[in-house]
Amino acid sequence: MNYLSTRGAGAGERHTFSDILLGGLAKDGGLYLPAQYPRVSADELTRWRTLPYADLAFEILSKFSDDIPVEDLRALTRKTYTAETYCHVRDDGEADRLAAQITPLKTLGVENGAPLSLLELSNGPTLAFKDMAMQLIGNLFEYTLDKHGETLNILGATSGDTGSAAEYAMRGKKGIRVFMLSPHKKMSAFQTAQMYSLQDPNIFNLAVEGVFDDAQDIVKAVSNDHAFKAKYKIGTVNSINWARVVAQVVYYFKGYFAATKSNDERVSFTVPSGNFGNVCAGHIARMMGLPIEKLVVATNENDVLDEFFRTGIYRVRKAAETYHTSSPSMDISKASNFERFVFDLLGRDPARVLQLFRDVEEKGGFDLAASGDFARVKEFGFVSGSSNHDTRVETIRDVFQRYDTMIDTHTADGLKVAREHLQSGIPMIVLETAQPIKFGETIREALLREPERPAAFTGLESLPQRFEVVPADAQRVKDFIAANTGA
């Protein structure tokens, strides 16, 4: 499998899965995609229907990574997707059986003739869907580094979900350290405790005196110091990482099998979206031949993507125009994986992708409304909608009353938008992206009660915490990294 950049540089060069695993952007600023999507045959689909999650992940990944020996890849997926890791299911009666499914499908009911269900992606260590891919990345990184006798220092900034998913994926991994910057005293008590209570010696939490943007600016400043970056082997695990996207393809297949009895049926998915990483994986599953009817993109008040799918206009927002909402993991000003879809939409024309994303940088966006390409959005199955605080709270309340099920704020945005796109006879699967305990304030507002807390998280906030407070100063962060890498 060869990989190419959406902007066309290095066409004719060979990039394997392992080559791009540890990297980020292609050198022309584009994103990597496979030279063509592998197709799944009817026979394969039939054979995959009954596979356990880890083996399904192996089958799908092996189509994208032909340079990792198959036995190694199988061992990596089996080590990653275990019932012990995905044990935080909330249905006490049959918790073990559900955990073994890794991503159990929870049926809600039938609305407008469409069976409606939630695909639980948030039973992993940090109770958010990012664990699904990040846990695999942790094992892939460790494996690849070990093979080449290398080490890696991961530097990141987080306002919550991504940072904790990265830390739980990398804790205790040989050859890897994590330096995670978070805004001091700005995260919820639960999220702070999740990260800061980690005592693993390879995990470093840096509480930056400032807001999330200050932390992000420090990461950019350090990454732009190429000498420092090379000397200290600095890397990232952001959402454009190809291995993260491909790991997410797996649960679309798993969800499809759980919601259907035969491969003649079609289903739709609704995906709470921010950086377009999760739904990009759905697009790839569809391109591989999974019978997906619609991919519904659900946004919150930050409706950059909804605007595009409704109008053909892609207009990124300035930081000051980005709302801080009660579904904060979708508070984005531009969608960093969107370029992958645009590449396919434009018939894989790298020159046009380059021009459009130059326009994003220089003019703040582009307009495809008048072009024939926008009409093709429907051929790719995409539709969209958005939610806001009031509809979010209302949806959490309604689902709790009607189905006795507590959902988090991001999943609520998904469900609200899913209901606008139901088709009789076609199952609608809403991806559940986090558990309610992570966003307790809104649950209390909606339901006047405490969010459900998985048993393993009892007393989390009173565990001892390990973190370092640093000023919003890139040099101080560099000094800290230098002092703690033994280089």
Ligand X SMILES: *Cc1c(COP(=O)(O)O)cnc(C)c1O
Task: Tell me the window of 148-156, 193-201, 251-259, 272-280 that interacts with ligand X (CB under 6 A).
Answer: 272-280
| Rg of the chain on CA atoms, in Å | 21
Catalytic residue selected from 27, 63, 106, 130: 130
Task: Tell me the window of 26-34, 48-56, 95-103, 271-279 that interacts with ligand X (CB under 6 A).
Answer: 271-279
x-marked contacts with ligand X along 170-189 as a string, rule CB under 6 A = --------------------
Establish if 434 lies at the interface with ligand X (CB under 6 A): yes
> Which residue sits closest to ligand X, CB atoms considered?
277
Establish if 161 lies at the interface with ligand X (CB under 6 A): yes
Task: Tell me the window of 1-9, 170-178, 275-283, 386-394 that interacts with ligand X (CB under 6 A).
Answer: 275-283
Q: How many residues bind ligand X (CB under 6 A)?
A: 16
Nearer to ligand X, 48 or 190 (CB): 190
Q: Which residue among 128, 169, 259, 417 contacts ligand X (CB under 6 A)?
A: 128
x-marked contacts with ligand X along 202-241 as a string, rule CB under 6 A = -------------------------------------x--
Q: How many other β-carbons are positioned within 10 Å of the β-carbon of residue 21?
A: 18
Shortest CB 340 distance to ligand X, Å: 12
Nearer to ligand X, 202 or 329 (CB): 329
Transcribe 321-384 into DSSP letters.
G----SSGGG--SS-TTHHHHHHHHTTS-HHHHHHHHHHHHHHSEEE-TTSHHHHTTTTTTEEE
Nearer to ligand X, 80 or 126 (CB): 126
Helical packing angle, 242-259 and 53-64, nearest 10°:
130
Residues 99/93, Cβ–Cβ less than 8 Å? no
Q: Which of 288, 220, 223, 282 is nearest to 255 (CA)?
A: 282
Compute CA 478 distance to the chain's CA centroid, rounded to the nearest angstrom: 28
Cα 89 from Cα 404, distance rounded (Å): 15
Task: Tell me the window of 53-61, 94-102, 273-281, 470-478 that interacts with ligand X (CB under 6 A).
Answer: 273-281
Nearer to ligand X, 115 or 274 (CB): 274
Shortest CB 66 distance to ligand X, Å: 26
130 in catalytic set? yes
Q: Which residue among 286, 340, 410, 478 contacts ligand X (CB under 6 A)?
A: 410
Task: Tell me the window of 96-104, 269-277, 392-400, 474-482 that interacts with ligand X (CB under 6 A).
Answer: 269-277
Neighbouring C-alpha atoms within 13 Å toward the C-beta of 395:
22
Nearer to ligand X, 175 or 282 (CB): 282
Shortest CB 141 distance to ligand X, Å: 19
Tokens of 333: 């000003």
Q: Which of 136, 145, 151, 1 is nearest to 75 (CA)?
A: 136
Establish if 436 lies at the interface with ligand X (CB under 6 A): no
Q: How many other β-carbons are positioned within 10 Å of the β-carbon of residue 233?
A: 17
Q: Which amino acid is at 166?
A: A
Transcribe 196-258 into DSSP letters.
HT---TTEEEEEEES-HHHHHHHHHHHHH-HHHHHHTTEE---TT-HHHHHHHHHHHHHHHHH
Nearer to ligand X, 295 or 434 (CB): 434
Q: Which of 239, 207, 461 is nearest to 329 (CA)?
A: 239
Shortest CB 332 distance to ligand X, Å: 7
Using DSSP, state whether 54 is helix, strand or coil: helix
x-marked contacts with ligand X along 276-305 as a string, rule CB under 6 A = xxx---------------------------
By CB under 6 A, the residues from 324 to 363 that bind ligand X are 329-330
Task: Tell me the window of 84-92, 267-275, 389-397, 465-473 that interacts with ligand X (CB under 6 A).
Answer: 267-275
Q: Which residue among 34, 115, 272, 350 contacts ligand X (CB under 6 A)?
A: 272
Shortest CB 191 distance to ligand X, Å: 11
Calculated CA dihedral for residues 176, 177, 181, 182, nearest 10 degrees: 80
Those residues whose C-beta lies under 8 Å from the C-beta of residue 335, and which sit 6 or more positions away, are 273, 274, 275, 276, 304, 305
User: Which residues of the shown chain bind ligand X in the complex (CB under 6 A)?
Assistant: 128, 130, 161, 239, 272-278, 329-330, 410, 433-434
Residues taking part in catalysis: 130
